[in-house]
Structure 1
Amino acid sequence: MDKLTIILNGDNFSDLESFYHEVDQVLTKDLDWQTGHNLDAFNDLLCGGFGVYDYATSVKIVWTKFSKSRSELGEKLTDTLCAIIAYHDHIEFETKD
């Protein structure tokens, strides 16, 4: 069985709030409540169990247009977001331009 691949499309965001909106679109499904838009909530969503994949299921996240995102979000924030993703052992992470 192939690992679920989730795309974070850098063309869909240019600031932190729109990044969180993209994360909501690709990591959640059929929630009847609003997710938090902060780093802790992002970390929680990566754990799984929010409709797209079950808790701690092995998935692959590909962040496309990464250089564009790094330029728009800033190096420090982008590094922080990448570190949060990399913290999760069940996530294979890749960046693409």
Structure 2
Amino acid sequence: MDKKTIIINGENFSELETFYVETDKVLSKNLDWQTGHNLDAFSDLLEGGFGVHEYKEPIKLIWKDFSKSKLDLGKKLSDKLVRIIEEHEHIEFSKA
């Protein structure tokens, strides 16, 4: 069975708050509550179980337009977000 592919689109955000809005959009669905907009909540979303993929279900995550995001968010923050993603062993991650 193929892994689900989830795309974070760097064209859809230009700062951290709108990054969280984008990741909410692609990593959760049909929630009747608002996710937290912080690094811990982002890590929790990556774990799964929020309507898009099951908890620790193997997925492919592609960060489209990563070079734009790195300019928008800054190297330090974008590197931190990548480290958070890469800590999740069930995620096959790539930048596009």
Pairwise TM-score range, normalised by the shorter structure: over 0.9
Amino acid at match of 2:33: W
CA offsets per residue over residues 5-32 of structure 1, 9 Å max, x none?
Answer: 0000000000000000000000001000
Point out where structure 2 has 5 or more consecutive residues left out of the alignment.
none
The ranges of structure 1 where at least 4 consecutive aligned residues each deviate by more than 6 angstroms after the TM superposition are none
What does 1:47-66 correspond to in 2, within 5 Å?
47-66=47-66
The corresponding residue for 1:31 is: 31
Point out where structure 1 has 5 or more consecutive residues left out of the alignment.
none
Distance 1:47 1:3 in 2: 15
State percent identity of aligned pairs: 62
Kindly report the root-mean-square deviation, in angstroms, between the aligned alpha carbons of the 2 structures: 0.3
CA offsets per residue over residues 26-61 of structure 1, 9 Å max, x none?
Answer: 000100000000000000110000000000000010
Amino acid at match of 1:28: S
Amino acid at match of 2:5: T
Matched residue count: 96
The corresponding residue for 2:16 is: 16
